[in-house]
């Protein structure tokens, strides 16, 4: 092996090692996560740590375990025993998704789990109302407390719709809207939870060039203006390399590379996964 090859191998190996920050100290992190479904190992011993304000993309071929990992991070799936998941430094392994949502984590869905026959306003308002229910006791003690909360929710939802340029669509039935707008409604629903960490599962899948551009513009604003931590599963490597601070590459359930996009895309193992060429 030449000195050049040895250096490339060493760099590739260092990219595969460890998390960026220890998971226990990360905004969102996990240690030793494995998830099996019967004989299928969907996620295989994954440890990651994502720092506050980072924009991290998780990439990899179909079936690599990306969505399963996201489902474990947000509490939809429990990992196999021996794993731990951390949110803002707290061990949330046994905590359900709604607890993690209240602690600042939201997500969008690859398959858009919207109420298709309801309008945009209703879709976002429903999430908001669940997030901030009027406290029952204060509602009983203070006349109008429930109404105040409702008015506050409505104001916040209006701000979100305005921000995502959805205001003109607020009375439209979701199923009648183009996919690009539906994906923005999904994003609006997650923002209604006022998250610090946003997990995005292929938020740009199926979008036209212009729709993707809009989505990137909104996410960039959230990242830069609000300092939101973004963790994004995305197949479009051009988008990933343009926007991400770091990439995590998964294959067959495991992490095969991680680091800044310019370094990861040069990793020989990543090239092999994407091109099938040695």
Ligand X SMILES: Nc1ncnc2c1ncn2[C@@H]1O[C@H](COP(=O)(O)OP(=O)(O)OP(=O)(O)O)[C@@H](O)[C@H]1O
Q: Which residues bind ligand X (CB under 6 A)?
A: 37, 40, 42, 60, 62-68
Q: Smallest distance from the beta carbon of 107 to ligand X, in angstroms?
A: 13
Instruction: Give the nearer residue to ligand X in terms of CB position, either 2 or 62.
Output: 62
Contact 222, 198 (CB under 8 A): yes
Query: Which two structure tokens, joined as six digits, stand for 170?
Result: 């607020």
Residue found by looking up tokens 């960026």 in the block: 20
Q: Smallest distance from the beta carbon of 236 to ligand X, in angstroms?
A: 12
Instruction: Give the nearer residue to ligand X in terms of CB position, either 38 or 81.
Output: 38
- Dihedral angle of Cα 110, 185, 48, 77, to the nearest 10 degrees: -60
Q: Smallest distance from the beta carbon of 124 to ligand X, in angstroms?
A: 25
Question: 56: closest CA among 204, 164, 187, 197?
Answer: 197
Query: Which two structure tokens, joined as six digits, stand for 265?
Result: 């895309």
Q: How far apart are CA 168 and CA 182, in angstroms?
A: 13
Instruction: Give the nearer residue to ligand X in terms of CB position, either 53 or 63.
Output: 63
Q: Smallest distance from the beta carbon of 133 to ligand X, in angstroms?
A: 30
Task: Give the CA distances from residue 178 to residues 172, 173, 184, 185, in Å, rounded to whole numbers and listed in that order.
Answer: 11, 11, 10, 11
Instruction: Give the nearer residue to ligand X in terms of CB position, either 64 or 105.
Output: 64
């Amino acid at each position: 092996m030449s000195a050049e090859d040895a250096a490339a191998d060493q760099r590739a190996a260092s990219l595969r090692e460890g998390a960026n920050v220890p998971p226990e100290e990360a905004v969102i992190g996990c240690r030793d996560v494995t998830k099996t479904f019967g004989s299928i190992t969907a996620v295989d011993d994954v440890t990651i740590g994502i720092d506050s304000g980072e924009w991290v993309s998780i990439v990899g071929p179909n079936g690599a375990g990306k969505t399963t990992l996201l489902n474990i991070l947000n509490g939809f799936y429990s990992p196999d025993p021996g794993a731990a998941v951390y949110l803002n430094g707290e061990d949330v392994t046994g905590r359900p998704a709604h607890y993690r949502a209240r602690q600042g984590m939201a997500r969008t869905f690859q398959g858009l789990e919207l109420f298709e026959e309801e309008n945009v306003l209703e879709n976002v308002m429903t999430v908001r109302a669940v997030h901030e229910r009027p406290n029952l006791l204060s509602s009983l003690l203070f006349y109008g407390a429930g109404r105040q909360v409702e008015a506050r929710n409505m104001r916040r939802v209006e701000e979100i719709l305005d921000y995502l340029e959805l205001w003109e669509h607020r009375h439209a039935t979701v199923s009648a809207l183009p996919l690009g707008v539906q994906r923005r409604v999904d994003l609006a629903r997650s923002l209604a939870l006022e998250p610090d960490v946003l997990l995005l599962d292929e938020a740009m899948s199926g979008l036209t060039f212009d729709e993707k551009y809009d989505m990137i513009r909104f996410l960039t604003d959230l990242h830069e203006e609000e300092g939101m931590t973004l963790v994004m599963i995305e197949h479009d490597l051009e988008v990933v390399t343009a926007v991400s601070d770091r990439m995590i590459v998964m294959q067959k359930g495991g992490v095969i590379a991680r680091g800044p996009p310019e370094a990861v895309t040069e990793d020989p193992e990543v090239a092999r996964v994407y091109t099938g060429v040695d």
